[in-house]
């Protein structure tokens, strides 16, 4: 095997010339046969020029790190750039910035490549801030579906000044879409294209109303089960948003865990696994209970170690210098209620996990009920009416 690998001949072509556009065309044709590159990789090679002052998919990703939302993957950034310009993100990339392209765009005629990158970056930033400040999604690892970020990017690229009422309705749509029973059963790309189509530049109120029409306004939603917790699953990411909504506190000083804490702890991962710890060892539980959200809690990187955190949460006596009320509030923020003290004292870990699972489920339901606001009036802002 070593000999075969050592002697294997890798085909390579050397293309010389000073016409950069011709060289990029050769690259595109070569890499659309055989084992194809991802679209984001082709897009980067075709359109990320050295003279664009860092305007590339990678540069946008790096800039967005300042929002403490985590690393946005290349394909999501590419789709966001494309969605801002036109709802169909599946279009041919090769002619994206050619002036004679036939596809009509939703941006000014003659928009340059640099302007497209800047516009996509600004739209993404606005969408992320909406998720963090209005929808209750603190980090991309807590985001149920990345395709929703693309749709929101298109919305805020064209409706940056959306008012408070519009943002409230958009938050309702976001959570209904995340839980809609049929919305994401097919292709995520097709779903993005269909939702993007509903967002029209210059029609902010119509855009949000059309989005709301795609999701039910009744009791057909099945809420995630706190009996199953897997950080790479959309249902668990929704549970994590509800857990963060309970304002979890640091064990060391009782301060709230903020988005910067999450970003530092999750780091380069695409799931929240590094920010989630086991309150109870799996060996103490049945196989079914070992999957429960009731045995999980948020613990950040520079807080106390896991052993100390467990001792604090499960014991009534700690060595932490703080008031009793503050300690109780920290425990409550991690769904450790006063009435669970006897369970912990008896080492009845099975019942403790079941009790926490119930508490997490109850908070999850309250969180989603508030965010989705089913059967509440969905009328738009008064700003859409001419009252003169």
Query: What is the per-residue pLDDT for 31?
Result: 57
Average pLDDT over residues 3-22: 59
pLDDT higher than threshold 50 for residue 73 = yes
With a pLDDT cut of 90, the percent of the chain lying above it is 64
- Give dist(CA 33, CA 116) in Å, integer: 28
Rounded to an integer, the average pLDDT of 302-324 is 77
Question: Where is average pLDDT lowest: 111-115, 128-132, 260-264, 288-292?
Answer: 111-115
Tens of pLDDT along 248-270?
999 999 999 999 999 999 998 98
* pLDDT score, position 162: 96
> Contact at 8 Å (CB) between 191 and 147?
yes
Cβ neighbours for 333, distance < 8 A, ≥ 6 positions apart: 246, 247, 248, 249, 256
Separation between Cα atoms, residue 338 and residue 344, nearest integer Å: 10
pLDDT exceeds cutoff 50 at 362: yes
Please give the pLDDT value at position 356: 97
Mean pLDDT of 63-68: 96
* Residue where the block lists tokens 């000044």: 161
Asked whether 292 and 361 are in contact (CB, 8 A), the reply is no
- The confidence score (pLDDT) of residue 80 equals 97
pLDDT score at 319: 43
Tokens of 74: 């290349």
pLDDT tens per residue across span 322-360:
457 888 999 999 999 988 888 988 999 999 999 999 999
Q: Taking each helix axis from N to C terminus, what angle separates 234-245 and 349-372, rounded to the nearest 10 degrees?
A: 90
**pLDDT at residue 92, as a whole number:** 82
Stretch 213-222: mean pLDDT: 90
Note the pLDDT of residue 299: 98
315 vs 119, more confident: 119
Q: What is the distance between the alpha carbons of residues 62 and 114, in angstroms, rounded to a whole number?
A: 16
* Token pair of 308 as six digits: 């100390």
- In angstroms, the Cα distances linking 294 to 133, 136, 227, 273, 355 are 27, 21, 8, 15, 7
Map out the domains of the chain as residue ranges: 20-98+110-212, 234-372
Average pLDDT over residues 353-382: 92
d(Cα 64, Cα 230) in Å, to the nearest integer? 26
108's CB contacts (< 8 A; 6+ apart) are none
Encode 110-146: b = buried (16+ Cβ within 10 Å), e = exposed: eeeeeebbbbbbbbbbbbbebbbeebbbbbbbbbbbb
Percent of the chain residues topping a pLDDT of 70: 81
pLDDT at 377: 87
Residue 101, pLDDT above cutoff 90: no
Contact (CB, 8 A) for 246 and 333: yes
State the chain's mean pLDDT as an integer.
87
Pairing mode of beta strands 296-298, 276-278: antiparallel
Residue pair 380/169 in contact by the 8 Å Cβ criterion: yes
Q: Report the C-alpha dihedral over residues 273, 279, 280, 286, rounded to 10 degrees.
A: -60
User: Region 58-84: what's the mean pLDDT?
Assistant: 95
Query: Which residues are paired to 296 by β-bridges?
Result: 278
**Per-residue confidence (pLDDT) for residue 169, from 0 to 100:** 97
SS3 for 298? strand
The better pLDDT of the pair 212, 7 is held by 212
Closest to 127 (Cα-Cα) out of 114, 140, 109: 140
The pTM score is 0.85
| Mean pLDDT on 168-184 | 92
- What pLDDT is recorded for position 99? 73
Q: Confidence band (pLDDT; 50, 70, 90) for 32?
A: low
Give CA 384 to chain center in angstroms.
Answer: 30
The mean pLDDT value for 306-318 works out to 83
Beta bridge partners of 278: 296
Tokens of residue 155, six digits:
């919305």
């Amino acid at each position: 095997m070593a000999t075969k690998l050592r002697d294997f001949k890798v085909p390579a072509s050397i293309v010389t010339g000073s016409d950069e556009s011709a060289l990029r065309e050769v690259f595109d044709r070569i890499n659309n046969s055989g084992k194809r590159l991802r679209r984001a990789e082709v897009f980067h090679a075709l359109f990320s020029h050295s003279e664009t002052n860092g305007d590339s998919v990678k540069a946008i990703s790096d800039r967005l790190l300042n929002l403490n939302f985590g690393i946005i993957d290349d394909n999501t950034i590419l789709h966001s750039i494309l969605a801002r310009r036109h709802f169909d993100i599946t279009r041919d990339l090769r002619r994206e910035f050619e002036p004679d392209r036939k596809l009509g765009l939703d941006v000014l005629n003659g928009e340059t490549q640099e302007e497209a990158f800047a516009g996509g970056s600004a739209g993404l930033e606005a969408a992320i801030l909406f998720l963090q400040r209005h929808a209750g999604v603190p980090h991309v690892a807590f985001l149920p579906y990345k395709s929703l970020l693309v749709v929101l990017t298109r919305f805020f690229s064209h409706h940056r000044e959306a008012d408070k009422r519009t943002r409230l309705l958009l938050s309702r749509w976001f959570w209904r879409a995340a839980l809609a029973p049929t919305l994401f059963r097919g292709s995520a790309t097709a779903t993005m294209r269909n939702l993007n189509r509903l967002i029209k530049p210059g029609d902010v109120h119509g855009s949000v109303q059309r989005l709301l029409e795609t999701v039910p306004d009744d009791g057909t939603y099945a809420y995630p089960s706190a009996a199953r917790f897997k950080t790479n699953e959309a249902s668990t990411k929704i549970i994590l948003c509800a857990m963060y909504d309970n304002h979890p506190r640091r064990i060391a000083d009782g301060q709230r865990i903020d988005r910067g804490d999450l970003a530092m702890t999750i780091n380069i991962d695409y799931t929240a696994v590094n920010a989630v710890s086991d309150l109870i060892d799996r060996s103490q539980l049945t196989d079914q209970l070992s999957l429960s959200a009731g045995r999980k809690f948020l613990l950040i990187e520079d807080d106390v170690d896991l052993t100390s955190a467990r001792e604090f949460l499960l014991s009534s006596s700690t060595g932490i210098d703080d008031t009793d009320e503050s300690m109780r509030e920290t425990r409550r923020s991690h769904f450790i209620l006063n009435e669970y003290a006897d369970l912990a004292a008896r080492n009845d870990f099975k019942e403790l996990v079941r009790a926490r699972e119930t508490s997490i489920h109850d908070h999850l339901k309250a969180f989603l009920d508030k965010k989705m606001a089913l059967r509440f009036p969905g009328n738009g802002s008064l700003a859409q009416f001419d009252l003169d």
